[in-house]
Amino acid sequence: MSVDQETVRRIARLARIALGEGQVEPMMNELNGILAWVAQLEEVDVTDVPAMQSVVQQNLKLREDAVTEGGNAEALMRNAPAAEDHFFVVPKVVE
Amino acid sequence: MSLPAAPTDFTLTEAREAVRARKISARELTGACIEAMDAARALNAFITETPERALAMAEQSDRRIADRAAGPLEGLPLAVKDLFCTRDVRTTAGSKILSNFIPPYESTVTRNLWDAGAVMLGKTNMDEFAMGSSNETSHFNPVVSPWRANGANQSLVPGGSSGGSAAAVAARLCPGATGTDTGGSIRQPAGISGIVGLKPTYGRCSRWGIVAFASSLDQAGPMARTVRDAAILLKAMVSVDPKDSTSVDRPVADYEENLEGGVRGLRVGIPAEYRIDGAPPEIGELWTKGADWLKLQGAELVEVSLPHTKYALPVYYIVAPAEASSNLARYDGVRYGHRTARAEGIGDLYERSRAEGFGAEVCRRILIGTYVLSAGYYEAYYARAQKLRTLIARDFTDAFSRCDVLLTPVTPGPAFPIGEKAADLLSMYLNDVFTVTANLAGLPALAVPAGVTGNGLPLGLQIIGRAFDESTVLRAGRAIEVAADFKARPRTWWTET
């Protein structure tokens, strides 16, 4: 399987990464290089092999559904590129 | 214990004894490391140096020592890979997108180290988001290895992604450092930088507060100059952490206790598939030598087969990008990190912030990951890779029915020149061919310096063990260390004017 330029544009859009027109073809070639290489996995018969879920067998831990921290909005907002009164500021979403 | 003349030459074990016995104060030791760090800027090993914090922490250590309240790592200066969030100290993951990020919290592993009394010297350089094997993908420029080939001036890579930590420890800027290992990122740089590096069993160290790359593979571990030093650091790093649901509630061994127990009767597996075409003969020769060393010390060598080894790298390059594409979705230019200066609408803000903030290798892996998880391709790529991963893990289970540890090379070659492999993705990926299997199977694995090439560059050997059997891995590694008697060290060209 290989990707064409349209597919590269589509997955870049899904991944929310802007790709300039000049970047599409080189990226396509690089991705196809990797996809051609991983295609060797097709030669292995994986019928009846379960997909790995976890490398270390253990039951998923549960914790009490309780508030353990909070009231730290100031600290959490400190890294915001743009903020006002504990709100993150973004470009207008709804006209 | 007779100590080296220069405090920066102390191993972590020697530094621990010297500080405890008050032959040197934590402040003096830390000062010596800061001087060495200052003099080694040419290596570009650190992204952020924290000398004032280090001296303040060292002074607190000296007070605790005077009060007889010293912790197990009291006053020992360490470098921290810039993937561990450190409270109020910039944490970049080697990326432009986090180049201004100052965490309001501390990772569990570093919290454990500071609670044990350790001193933070600074944050080390690394491949962007730990994606790389040479430190060349860092937004903060490559790390230069302290090692050079005999008679040569060419700059070499320290390996990656924990290349800054490896360079700092190898160059004697600090006695120990933290690293993280997703496909070999502790062991590969340790191997080609002539130091010890341990990737513990998946779940042994908490991942909480470590910037996530591929969550089912990521594991933190120690980097140091001796096996005992790595054991000391590991003991302090591990904990059962309610903040990481994959952190495993199992008793922690005293990793130092059985270190000198020897390998008499230990069954050491030699996996046939780790002999690869195209590797320089020195790799195979050192491997044979390592097997002989263990045999001479009473170990029993067992030929074993791990038949799915050749599929490990391609499996990794599906699983790791898939997980990375999900983990790195959080960087959107809204809540923290880089935001584009010009955005028309929210979608444009996401797309431009990410395109500007991520480097080429990270973009590539996010796109591969997005593709293999996308509708119509999930079964063919991701699901198949996870089935292959089951087969790779089974190979190890089968092998460990016949042996106790495995002995392999760490890397397919020594340190290479900066720029040599950057243009050829697959030859770069091949650096992790011997290390990536342990990540896929979640097993503990140790890199130990074992020899040098004909032109003086270090090479390592790897011990892979059963899950949670770090003690045996370290004991076997110690036996290699004793036999190898590795004394090579880099010439300090960076201090010469």
pLDDT at residue B447, rounded to an integer: 98
Task: Verify whether the Cβ–Cβ distance B354 to A17 is below 8 Å.
Answer: yes
Hey, is the C-beta of A15 within 8 angstroms of any chain B C-beta? yes
Query: φ, ψ for residue B180 (rounded to 5)?
Result: -135, 155
What average pLDDT is seen over chain B? Answer: 97
pLDDT at residue B128, rounded to an integer: 98
Does residue B418 have a pLDDT over 90? yes
pLDDT at residue A92, rounded to an integer: 86
Query: Does the annotation mark B81 as catalytic?
Result: yes
Average pLDDT over residues B47-63: 98
- Candidates B273, B294, B306; CA nearest to B398 is B306
CB atoms within 10 A of CB A73: 12
The answer to whether residue A73 is domain-embedded is no
Average pLDDT over residues B413-441: 93
In a shared domain, residues B375 and B418: no
The answer to whether residue B470 is domain-embedded is yes
Give A57's pLDDT tier (boundaries 50, 70, 90): confident
Give B122's pLDDT tier (boundaries 50, 70, 90): very high
In angstroms, the CA A50 to CA B387 distance is 6
Hey, is the C-beta of A92 within 8 angstroms of any chain B C-beta? yes
pLDDT digits (tens, 9 = 90+) for A9-39: 999 999 999 999 999 999 999 999 999 999 9
Best of B387, B433, B440, B468 to substitute, by most chain A Cβ atoms within 10 angstroms, is B387
Does residue B357 have a pLDDT over 80? yes
- B368, containing H or E segment: helix B360-373
Asked if the interface predicted TM-score (ipTM) of this complex is over 0.90, the answer is: yes
Average pLDDT over residues B173-193: 98
Task: Verify whether the Cβ–Cβ distance A92 to B345 is below 8 Å.
Answer: yes
Let me know how many helices (H) and strands (E) chain B has, helices first.
15, 11
In a shared domain, residues B326 and B214: no
Domain count, chain A: 1
Nearest chain A alpha carbon to B442: A55
- pLDDT over 70, % of chain B: 100
In a shared domain, residues B173 and B119: yes
Residue B258 burial by CB count (10 A; 0-12/13-18/19+): exposed, middle or buried?
middle
- Candidates B178, B153, B181, B144; CA nearest to B45 is B144
Q: Find the CB nearest B314 among A38, A54, A88.
A: A38
Pick the range with the lowest mean pLDDT from A61-65, B127-131, B140-144, B194-198. Answer: A61-65
Domain count, chain B: 2
Nearest chain B alpha carbon to A36: B314
In chain A, residues 28-67 whose CB comes closer than 8 Å to chain B: 30-31, 33-35, 37-38, 40-42, 44, 46, 49-56, 58, 60-61, 63
pLDDT digits (tens, 9 = 90+) for B197-245: 999 999 999 999 999 999 999 999 999 999 999 999 999 999 999 999 9
Helix axes B360-373, B312-327, angle to 10 degrees: 100
Does residue A1 have a pLDDT over 80? no
Q: Facing residues of B304 across strands?
A: B271
In a shared domain, residues B204 and B104: yes
Buried b (16+ CB within 10 A) or exposed e, B1-29: eebeeebbbbbbbbbbebbeeeebbbbbb
pTM of the model: 0.97
Q: Which residues of A touch B318 (CB under 8 A)?
A: 38, 41
The answer to whether residue B59 is domain-embedded is yes
Best of A27, A38, A65 to substitute, by most chain B Cβ atoms within 10 angstroms, is A38
In a shared domain, residues B478 and B362: no
The answer to whether residue B325 is domain-embedded is yes
Average pLDDT over residues B297-323: 98
Task: Say which amino acid occupies B49.
Answer: E
Nearest chain B alpha carbon to A16: B351
Best of B310, B371, B436 to substitute, by most chain A Cβ atoms within 10 angstroms, is B371
- pLDDT over 70, % of chain A: 99
How many beta-carbon pairs under 8 angstroms link A with B? 158
Nearest chain B alpha carbon to A37: B314
In angstroms, the CA A34 to CA B366 distance is 13
pLDDT at residue B385, rounded to an integer: 98
Average pLDDT over residues B70-79: 98
SS3 content of chain A, % helix, strand, coil (to 5): 40, 5, 55
Among B25, B81, B162, B325, the active-site one is: B81
The answer to whether residue B433 is domain-embedded is yes
In angstroms, the CA A39 to CA B315 distance is 10
User: Dihedral of CA B340/B345/B347/B348: which sign?
Assistant: negative
Query: Does the annotation mark B161 as catalytic?
Result: yes
Shortest Cα distance, chain B CAs vs residue A54, angstroms: 7
Pick the range with the lowest mean pLDDT from B158-167, B396-405, B415-424. Answer: B415-424
Structure-model confidence comparison of residues B423 and A66, the more confident one: A66
Structure-model confidence comparison of residues B279 and B159, the more confident one: B159
State the alpha helices, DSSP H only, in B238-280.
Answer: none
The answer to whether residue B432 is domain-embedded is yes
In a shared domain, residues B318 and B407: no
Q: Find the CB nearest B388 among A31, A44, A81.
A: A44
pLDDT at residue B287, rounded to an integer: 98
Q: Which residues of A touch B347 (CB under 8 A)?
A: 16
Buried b (16+ CB within 10 A) or exposed e, B402-429: ebbbbbbbbbbbbbbebeebbeebeebb
Q: Which residues of B touch A42 (CB under 8 A)?
A: 384
- Domain of A16, CATH number, reads 1.10.20
pLDDT digits (tens, 9 = 90+) for B11-43: 999 999 999 999 999 999 999 999 999 999 999
- Candidates B84, B94, B237, B222; CA nearest to B161 is B94
Q: Are strands B196-199 and B119-124 parallel, antiparallel or unpaired?
A: unpaired
The answer to whether residue B214 is domain-embedded is yes
Token pair in block for residue B180: 């993280």
Query: Does the annotation mark B374 as catalytic?
Result: no
Give B270's pLDDT tier (boundaries 50, 70, 90): very high
pLDDT at residue B1, rounded to an integer: 64
Q: What is the CA radius of gyration of chain A?
A: 23
User: What domain range includes position B344?
Assistant: 313-386
- Domain of B428, CATH number, reads 3.90.1300.10
The answer to whether residue B347 is domain-embedded is yes
Q: Find the CB nearest A11 among B374, B385, B390.
A: B374
pLDDT at residue A69, rounded to an integer: 85
In a shared domain, residues B417 and B382: no
Task: Verify whether the Cβ–Cβ distance B354 to A82 is below 8 Å.
Answer: no
In angstroms, the CA B298 to CA B420 distance is 42
Among B185, B193, B206, B247, the active-site one is: B185
Give B279's pLDDT tier (boundaries 50, 70, 90): confident
